[in-house]
Structure 1
Amino acid sequence: MEQSDVGGMAHDHVFLGRDHDRNTRRVLWVVLLTLTMMVGEIVAGVVFNSMALLADGFHMATHAGALTVAAFAYLLARRYAAERRFTFGTGKVGDLAGFASSLVLGLVALGIAVESALRFLNPQPVAFSEATAIAVLGLLVNLLSAVLLGPDHHHDHHHEPHDHAEHGHDNNLRSAYVHVLADALTSVLAIAALLGGRFLGWVWLDPAMGLVGAAVIAVWSWSLMRAASSVLLDMADPHVEGEIRELVEDETEARIVDLHLWRVGPAGHAAIVSVVGDDADNVRRRLRPVHEIVHLTVEARASASQPPAA
């Protein structure tokens, strides 16, 4: 006789992560800071007739747009978290936003590379003193934003063991963090190029630093895109899958004949486990140590020849 255990008849599907609302506020503050600095750089670029500041201001505008998408994703995920039409909740909205942001980041890297290559061929005069001052201010704003979005560990010990890597698993927060780091990197490279041009006359340093920054940002973009797409495509986590097989099959006659594992949001994974040679209650009990699983469905059969229930 087949036993089927769906993990309780009444339960919610809210897998947003324990810091969802806090992360929303963090991203909204960074959006405000970025928009303020963006306007300041564009205005200063016009006043000082500095193409470098104008370019950095519009570059920051693309990041402001991506950060706004991140904030909107948090708000949208919370707004529709309990709607039943989202079968496994809205935990993946952040991954969708993270993937979109990684594409924007890649386009920014391409734009910086093209502009840098053009400036090698046609050097532009720069108001070094004014541009350097604004670039330093921009760097300070980016560092403050990074502190707001960066990983913190002061409350990790109050939570379950699987919560320690949540910052890395929240691809929406990670995308916002990477955008801020990209801005900080371009500010540092811009300051170095401006100082080199002002004191050493190395005009070529500006486009050279632009190419270096573009390459680093492109690598960040690719890394973020891979992480977000793996969640969107329901790729299994080999570590968690191995732990499930070990707990179910080791030292027992039970065998897993079908296993589906996928991430449903920063809060964890969902799993469907089909087992031969054991009952569902035993399987569920053995899988309790796998804290990454937040939604578990178990199908158990007495023998491999027994067909599944209709």
Structure 2
Amino acid sequence: MPHVHHDHAHGHTPAVSSTNERVVLSGFVLTAGFMVVEVAGGLWSGSLALLADAGHMLTDAAALLLAWLAFRMGRRASDARRTFGYLRFEVLAGLVNALTLFALVAWIVWEAIQRLRDPAEVLAGPMLAVAVVGLGVNCLVFWILHRGDQGHVNIRGATLHVLGDLLGSVAAIAAALVIRFTGWMPIDPILSVLVCLLILRSAWALLRGSFHILMEGAPPDVDIEVLRRHLLDAVPGVAAVDHVHVWSITSGRVLATLELALADGAAPARVVPAVKRALADRFAIGHATVEVVHAPPADCALAGEPRGGAAHGGNRADAGHDHHHRHGPDSPPHDAVR
């Protein structure tokens, strides 16, 4: 089966720019720097809430560092072995970060249980001072991140992490005030567990998103059946759309492969570019591989694949092999246009 070139004209994706790199790096330096201060303050004051917030800041610092590395790696050119470059590094980094968050939550909850059984004395003064400074640092980092491209998942994710840090600092301030004015020590481990819930929520969202991309699932804003109907209705000359697969290489970089059957008299040279424009404009799919067949495809159930099947990144050589068996050696030739 003859193949023509890939279409590398991508749709809009958030820029991997030097501005984004500087924003993320500045946020990392501030977050990591104060994290060290907060750990020292937590150990000095005996506050588990401060240590929990420092743990949250540790994960944020790791997320910012991984985001910066993802920007750097994402700019590396593709080669013959890695045809999409290092774009998926961001997803792998997110998966590692999520697993680290779960481990941290387990440790803090265990420590909180021990302290509820045997409350430890907490120095409210140092705890309050560190928590107030932490709130100021988080506000500064939040402002810095808002100078970056909020359309990029790394920037947006880091901003959400910092919002969680802000709540963690507020919780530490509240615990310090309660201890200072009432002397009730259990408030410290109780609020540390509340901070853990913030961490756990971020960890689950990050793990689920990373795993979905690694499993080559369809992006949440792309409905395969809606996509098929849109191409049939919006692009003249399209008679059938089948074997639709949509997946993401990384955040904002969506790819698709599909098979078209054209109406009588329709010219592939006109229909295929129109299909790619429709995919880019309506679904933000900037890299599409389109295979054209001269006759409507047979029922997909006969080929062992559901109509508009599950998204994955299968290669077109397998698709060609499948057609050979379905149509037989005497079937008309196919035109594969990419």
TM-score band w.r.t. shorter chain:
0.7 to 0.9
- Could you list the per-position Cα deviations for residues 120-153 of structure 1 after superposition, in whole angstroms to 9, with x for gaps in the alignment? 1111111101210111101111122122224878
Q: Distance in 2 between matches of 1:285 and 1:239?
A: 21
Letter of the 1:140 partner, please give it. G
Q: Distance in 2 between matches of 1:208 and 1:151?
A: 35
Q: Establish whether residue 121 from structure 1 lines up as the match of residue 117 from structure 2.
A: yes
User: Are 2:23 and 2:148, in contact at CA under 8 Å, matched by a contact in 1?
Assistant: no
TM-score by length of 2: 0.74
Q: 1:207 to 1:56 in 2, by over 3 A?
A: closer
Q: Establish whether residue 67 from structure 1 lines up as the match of residue 59 from structure 2.
A: no
User: Are 1:4 and 1:298, in contact at CA under 8 Å, matched by a contact in 2?
Assistant: no
Q: Distance in 2 between matches of 1:280 and 1:89?
A: 30
- Give the aligned partner of residue 275 of structure 2: 286
Q: 1:136 to 1:16 in 2, by over 3 A?
A: same
Higher RCO by CA contacts (8 Å cutoff, separation 6 or greater): 1
| Paired residue secondary structure (2:47) | helix
- Give the aligned partner of residue 274 of structure 1: 259
Q: Distance in 2 between matches of 1:284 and 1:255?
A: 16
- Give the aligned partner of residue 55 of structure 1: 51
Q: Establish whether residue 226 from structure 1 lines up as the match of residue 208 from structure 2.
A: yes
Q: Establish whether residue 212 from structure 1 lines up as the match of residue 194 from structure 2.
A: yes
Q: Distance in 2 between matches of 1:178 and 1:99?
A: 17
Q: Which segments of 5 or more consecutive residues in structure 1 lack a partner in the other structure?
A: 154-164
Q: CA deviation at 1:244?
A: 3.0
User: Are 1:98 and 1:225, in contact at CA under 8 Å, matched by a contact in 2?
Assistant: yes
TM-score by length of 1: 0.80
Match of 1:244 among 223, 227, 232: 227
Aligned length: 290
Q: Distance in 1 between matches of 2:12 and 2:94?
A: 17
Q: CA deviation at 1:177?
A: 3.1
Q: CA deviation at 1:254?
A: 1.4
Q: Distance in 2 between matches of 1:231 and 1:151?
A: 27
| Paired residue secondary structure (2:259) | strand
Equivalent positions of 1:133-148 (< 5 A) are 133-148=129-144
Quote the sequence identity (%): 32
- Give the aligned partner of residue 192 of structure 1: 174
Equivalent positions of 1:68-147 (< 5 A) are 68-78=65-75, 80-147=76-143
What is the RMSD computed on CA atoms of the aligned residues? 3.1
- Give the aligned partner of residue 256 of structure 1: 241
- Give the aligned partner of residue 301 of structure 1: 293
Q: 1:253 to 1:24 in 2, by over 3 A?
A: closer
Q: Distance in 1 between matches of 2:240 and 2:147?
A: 40
Letter of the 1:298 partner, please give it. V
| Paired residue secondary structure (2:151) | helix
Q: Distance in 2 between matches of 1:268 and 1:180?
A: 25
User: Are 1:70 and 1:94, in contact at CA under 8 Å, matched by a contact in 2?
Assistant: yes
User: Are 2:24 and 2:67, in contact at CA under 8 Å, matched by a contact in 1?
Assistant: yes
State the structure with more CA Rg: 2
Q: Which segments of 5 or more consecutive residues in structure 2 lack a partner in the other structure?
A: 298-326
Letter of the 2:116 partner, please give it. F
Q: 1:3 to 1:286 in 2, by over 3 A?
A: farther
| Paired residue secondary structure (1:133) | helix
Q: Distance in 2 between matches of 1:42 and 1:210?
A: 14
Q: Distance in 1 between matches of 2:27 and 2:176?
A: 26
| Paired residue secondary structure (1:114) | helix
Q: Distance in 2 between matches of 1:294 and 1:173?
A: 21
Q: Distance in 2 between matches of 1:249 and 1:132?
A: 63
User: Are 1:128 and 1:197, in contact at CA under 8 Å, matched by a contact in 2?
Assistant: yes
